[in-house]
Amino acid sequence: MSTVTSRRGASHDAPSARPPSASRRRRSLGRPQLFAAWALTIPFLIVFAAMFLVPLGYAGYLSTFTSQLVGGQVFSGLANYARALEDPSFWAGLGRVALFLFVQVPIMLVIALVIALALDTGRVAGSKFVRLAIFVPYAVPGVVATLMWGYLYGRESGLIAQMISSVGLTPPDLLSPQNVLGSTMNIVSWEFIGYNMIVLYAALRSVPTDMYEAAEIDGAGPFRVAWSIKIPAIRSAILLTVIFSVIGSFQLFNEPNLLYSIAPNAIGSDFTPNLYAYNVAFRNQDVNYAAAIAFLLGFFIMVISYVVQLATSRKERLS
């Protein structure tokens, strides 16, 4: 009897332990709370719609039209998208950013992770200064950083060329067509290693130290602790930096656009898809085709980001 009573009591208490549903929470809120919630949310929704949804919809609308000398703007459906898929300049730019993604992003993230792991050990002298010094380039505007590196890359008067010439060697042309992509990778790595290092370091600081102490008692060294405990514990932070880097790689614009003025023979107007869309829109005055290129680029970014996230989730389930 007591068992039945206790079960009944448990079944009577169970609903009260459940979290209230959304409709119940709304009913529990009074009018002042609902008014305050909407008053705080509506400004954001207005700005979000005005600055994101409306321009996005307008760009999608423009991409379905074509400008003609006779007849002006005419509806052409998906003709601009078909044209972009057959455009060698679009695919050449996409190939460059894909190469940029597969070479620069792993190097940048590995360096950022190694620095974050080293700082997390607490054995680096002057760790606060090191952390700040590595993060400072992220605070430098991209335009300033590109112009600074463009000066350093100069073959005649650049600092790098002068240092190599001072030891009797022939300096390479870092802004030649063969080297300009690598020079751009160097600029972007210099800018963003600190940002990714801070993200990973903050994630490492949130891992309970009990796990490290237990591993050290079992005889694990620093490298074993880093590989088997720290890196798996911050997997979500690593995935975040990977996705941000994938998106940033396909949005590459400032660096090639500024280097174009320094090395016009090495960087064409279609060096990256973003730069190509910009030149098509504002130099060729073909905003309809530029909108189609931008939408296709966004589609590729979405697919690759989803594949990266899906592959990581599957690996986590298997492990």
For 58-94, write each residue's pLDDT tens digit: 999 999 998 877 777 888 889 999 999 999 999 999 9
**Domains of the chain by start residue, with CATH:** 90-317 (1.10.3720.10)
**Amino acid present at 227:** W
Q: Once rounded to an integer, what is the mean pLDDT over residues 164-175?
A: 87
**Residues sharing a CB contact under 8 Å with residue 151, sequence separation 6 or more, in sequence order:** 157, 158, 159
Higher model confidence: residue 41 or residue 67? 41
Six-digit token pair at 190?
A: 């210099």
**Residues sharing a CB contact under 8 Å with residue 258, sequence separation 6 or more, in sequence order:** 143, 146, 147, 150
Residue-level pLDDT at 8:
42
Lowest mean pLDDT among 122-126, 191-195, 204-208, 212-216: 212-216
Closest CA to 109 of 12, 226, 244: 244
Q: Is the pLDDT of residue 102 over 70?
A: yes
Q: Is the pLDDT of residue 317 over 70?
A: yes
Instruction: Please state, in angstroms and rounded to a whole number, the distance separating the CA atoms of residues 60 and 39.
Output: 31
Closest CA to 278 of 255, 300, 294: 294
**Residues sharing a CB contact under 8 Å with residue 124, sequence separation 6 or more, in sequence order:** 118, 130
Q: Once rounded to an integer, what is the mean pLDDT over residues 34-38?
A: 87
Burial of 244 (0-12, 13-18, 19+ CB in 10 A): middle
Q: Once rounded to an integer, what is the mean pLDDT over residues 95-123?
A: 93
pTM: 0.79
pLDDT band, very low/low/confident/very high, at 314 (cuts 50, 70, 90): confident
Instruction: Please state, in angstroms and rounded to a whole number, the distance separating the CA atoms of residues 191 and 108.
Output: 10
Question: Tens of pLDDT along 224-277?
Answer: 888 888 898 898 899 999 999 988 888 899 889 988 888 888 888 889 999 999
Residue-level pLDDT at 105:
93
Q: Note the residue count of the chain.
A: 319
Instruction: Please state, in angstroms and rounded to a whole number, the distance separating the CA atoms of residues 303 and 294.
Output: 14
Q: Is the pLDDT of residue 104 over 90?
A: yes
Query: Residues of the chain with pLDDT > 70: what percent?
Result: 90
User: Are 40 and 266 within 8 A, CB to CB?
Assistant: no
Residue-level pLDDT at 29:
65
Q: Once rounded to an integer, what is the mean pLDDT over residues 129-158?
A: 89
Q: What are phi and psi of 68, to 5 degrees?
A: -125, 150
Residue-level pLDDT at 161:
87
**Residues sharing a CB contact under 8 Å with residue 73, sequence separation 6 or more, in sequence order:** 65, 66, 67, 288
Q: Once rounded to an integer, what is the mean pLDDT over residues 18-30?
A: 61
Instruction: Please state, in angstroms and rounded to a whole number, the distance separating the CA atoms of residues 281 and 213.
Output: 58
3-state secondary structure 171-228: CCCCCCCCCHHHHHHHHHHHHHHHHHHHHHHHHHHCCCHHHHHHHHHCCCCHHHHHHH
Exposure letters 26-41 (e unless 16+ CB within 10 A, then b): eeeeeeeeeeeeeeee
